[in-house]
Amino acid sequence: MKKKPRIGFIIGKDGEDLIKNSKDFPEIPHYFNDSSNYQLRWGTHNKIDVDVAIPYWIKKHYDVEIDIIEPSQINSERLRKNDLNFCIGFDVITGKWLKWQYPTLEAHVRTIFKKSKVNHIYPSWKLQNFVYRKGPYLKKFQKAGIPIAPTFLLRSTGTFNLARARRILAKIKKYGWEKFVIKPELGAGSFGFEMMITANTTDKKLLKYLNKYRKEFPGFMVQQAMQGFYKFWELRLWWYNGKFAYAIANKAKVVTGTKEKIARTPPKDIVEQCKKIGKKIFPLLPKIKYNGKNYPPVMIRTDFGCCQGNTLDKNKYFLNEFELQAANYFTRHTNFPVVIEGSKAFIKTFQQVTNKKLCKK
């Protein structure tokens, strides 16, 4: 008998993408929505995350084996048994987050992910490593004419002392930024995000901040604080196989001061505006060839803020960052059928990359 194609899914979401009605997914073993299984699904109760809903949707509709891999189960042997493994709820940044549980996980998965071809991992390390280094990619995008917030980068290497902090502050003053934000590279979920008023920030305060994070993070991004973030929606746009899929609007916790605010249907004109910008990043991503062809990533999320030039001009959104398929899908905040369309996007990429056709049941 011919061997069934095997798709691995590396999971690890922590309850941000709950699909409310888990009754729609009786095929999913209770193990994956059992709140007492806190090692895997802390905070969730009888609800299902998108990183298991997608694999089980695929299994339900296609003649395929799926292999759900938990963060602690990542090893080359297991991965190589599958034709292709998708990072869906897990990436190196998740590995960093899980440090409290698995202190060596980040280093371990880096070693494995770096050999993405032999370990059958998608996306390739080249693309993963590109997205993990937010400062450099923003600079690359900027050079190509994509609007971003005024930014400069700091590396966590070298000496950190008051003189260095003073030089950084002098640079901020030279740029004329009244307020600035600083965030660690490889951070996520606004971790380490701080906004400082330039005139009130002493060398000592800045140095204290840098010393707090520099051992854990490879660098920092310093940006002009953009007032539009406080006034207007941020936009998030999802692209499946390189095509626009859906969008939501949000106001981050660091902005509202309480909890994240989300709008299911963002203003159309702003979506259109951001689509035009988001489209431009695709040719700038590292090219990843499989079977002699270059394919777009399964999923990309582009995030936007307002407004270019630190004005309050709603027609001037800029790109804040982008994420790959392990990012949040905001499944319960959109009417877009994320599980069905997301599954199809993974299937399409699987077939292209492995040259194996999946048969419908």
Ligand X SMILES: Nc1ncnc2c1ncn2[C@@H]1O[C@H](COP(=O)(O)OP(=O)(O)O)[C@@H](O)[C@H]1O
Interface with ligand X by CB under 6 A: which range of 106-114, 222-230, 340-348, 351-359? Answer: 222-230
Binding to ligand X (CB under 6 A) within 258-317 occurs at 303
Residues that bind ligand X (rule: CB under 6 A) add up to a total of 20
Interface pick for ligand X out of 112, 252, 262, 263 (rule CB under 6 A): 252
Interface pick for ligand X out of 119, 321, 343, 350 (rule CB under 6 A): 321
Interface pick for ligand X out of 153, 255, 262, 263 (rule CB under 6 A): 255
**Cβ proximity to ligand X, 72 vs 308, nearer residue:** 308
Give the span between the Cα atoms of 281 and 321, in whole angstroms: 11
Give the span between the Cα atoms of 13 and 48, in whole angstroms: 10
Least Cβ distance, residue 343 to ligand X (angstroms): 26
- Closest chain position to ligand X (CB): 252
Least Cβ distance, residue 236 to ligand X (angstroms): 9
* CB 288 within 8 Å of CB 295: yes
Residue 199 gets the label, from left (phi > 0), alpha (psi -120 to 50) or beta, of: alpha
Least Cβ distance, residue 93 to ligand X (angstroms): 9
Question: How are beta strands 6-10 and 65-69 bridged, if at all?
Answer: parallel
Cis bond leading into 297, ω under 30°? no
Question: How are beta strands 84-87 and 6-10 bridged, if at all?
Answer: parallel
Binding to ligand X (CB under 6 A) within 323-342 occurs at none
**Distance from chain centroid for Cα 155:** 21
**Cβ proximity to ligand X, 49 vs 303, nearer residue:** 303
**Cβ proximity to ligand X, 64 vs 181, nearer residue:** 181
Interface pick for ligand X out of 41, 47, 96, 183 (rule CB under 6 A): 183
**Cβ proximity to ligand X, 153 vs 252, nearer residue:** 252
Give the span between the Cα atoms of 158 and 49, in whole angstroms: 42
Interface with ligand X by CB under 6 A: which range of 101-109, 123-131, 226-234, 264-272? Answer: 226-234
> Rule CB under 6 A: which residues touch ligand X?
149, 181, 183, 187-191, 193, 223, 225-226, 229, 234, 252, 254-255, 303, 320-321
